[in-house]
Homo-oligomer: A and B are copies of this chain.
């Protein structure tokens, strides 16, 4: 796992080249109005991160789907972006077949498997990623290849200085900070909260704590949690006293949001729970996002060590995957 964690700097640089050099069909510029990104688990996080940049800078809508069937509104003006690192995800094979049957445009990001072959056969563009990583550890490849691909196409905007800041940010591994956080979280019921471009960060921490540290956590988006979830920090009392709310925060937030968060954190403390905020570092949102993703990956790794769990083992996921085939 350490090797994978330490591969992030080379991943993001390689991925930038892969994304920038993969051909972009010119007809897409006038044809495509909507994009539906499809991906599961570790392969799916790049969709949430791309959504941030489409929502902030694009005239094309970006929808994330974690399912095995396409919505009825997917048509020739909708691009299916299919993400399956292994190339063998059941849900994504199902989506691929449906897209072909319905004749809708598709591109895929994968390192091989059934989907790479099917792309070749159907002459679909493939963002070809290096193989050999667990999907969740290929987050640099998955995210930065798609970002570079769509920046290159002119569909989203990322400034050169923001790329450079992100490349620099992933060079410094946050092992010390991660270890301290894991110790603080140990034995706790953890809830991760983030808003706007920090919402996918909160989701990533939750999924990494599950897969790496074998720890069940929760996550929610801000300001949505201020409309229901905050009331839940009261029962069952024994669990609340062992709970911790983790808020990902950004220095550019409006004042009213900061004030609301303070009230929520005070309530958690009054209920006997703990709460902390973790500040996004950097200027551009790309660096802010990737450095917090990296911190979460390292913290979930340190948490696995504390829990005496093997961070690489995914035996439950594998057992469930084996159930795809009938006996």
Residues of A within 8 A of B (CB): 33-34, 40-42, 44, 54-63, 66-69, 71-73, 75, 77-78, 90-91, 136, 186-189, 191, 195-196, 206-207, 209-211, 213-218, 221, 223-224, 226-236, 238-240, 242-243, 255-256, 259-260, 262-264, 267, 307, 309, 314, 316-317, 319-324, 326
Q: What CA separation (Å) do A56 and B74 show in the bound complex?
A: 11
Pick from B44, B55, B230, B232: contact of A224, CB below 8 A.
Answer: B44
A262, chain B: closest CB distance, angstroms: 7
Residues of B contacting A58 with CB < 8 Å?
Answer: 72-73
CB-nearest residue of chain B relative to A313? Answer: B231
Does B91 lie within 8 Å of A73, measured CB to CB?
Answer: no
Q: Of B44, B67, B214, B228, which one neighbours A231 at CB under 8 angstroms? A: B214
Docked-complex contact B320 and A230, CB < 8 angstroms: yes
A-B residue pairs in contact (CB < 8 Å), sample of 17: A54-B71, A59-B75, A63-B63, A67-B224, A68-B223, A69-B196, A186-B236, A189-B216, A189-B236, A206-B229, A207-B229, A211-B232, A214-B235, A215-B236, A216-B218, A230-B317, A230-B320
How far apart sit A216 and B271, CA to CA, in the bound complex (Å)?
A: 12
In the assembled complex, how far is the CB of residue A214 from the closest CB belonging to chain B, in whole angstroms?
Answer: 4
**Which of A221, A309, A320 has the most CB atoms of chain B within a 10 A radius of its CB?**
A320
Complex: how many Å from CA A316 to CA B234? 10
- Contact, CB under 8 Å: A260 / B320: yes
Q: Is the CB of A227 within 8 A of B40?
A: yes
User: Do A228 and B256 form a contact, CB below 8 Å, given A68-B223, A316-B264?
Assistant: no
Say whether A320 contacts B226, CB under 8 Å: yes
With A57-B72, A91-B223 as contacts: A230 and B323 at CB distance below 8 Å? no
Name A216's contact: one of B191, B206, B210, B213 (CB within 8 Å). Answer: B191
- C-alpha gap A313/B194 in the complex (Å): 26
Tell whether A207 pairs with B235 under 8 Å between CB atoms, given A67-B223, A73-B59, A196-B67.
no
Contacts A54-B73, A195-B67: A232 and B209 contacting too (C-beta < 8 A)?
yes
List residues of chain B with CB within 8 A of the CB of A63.
61, 63
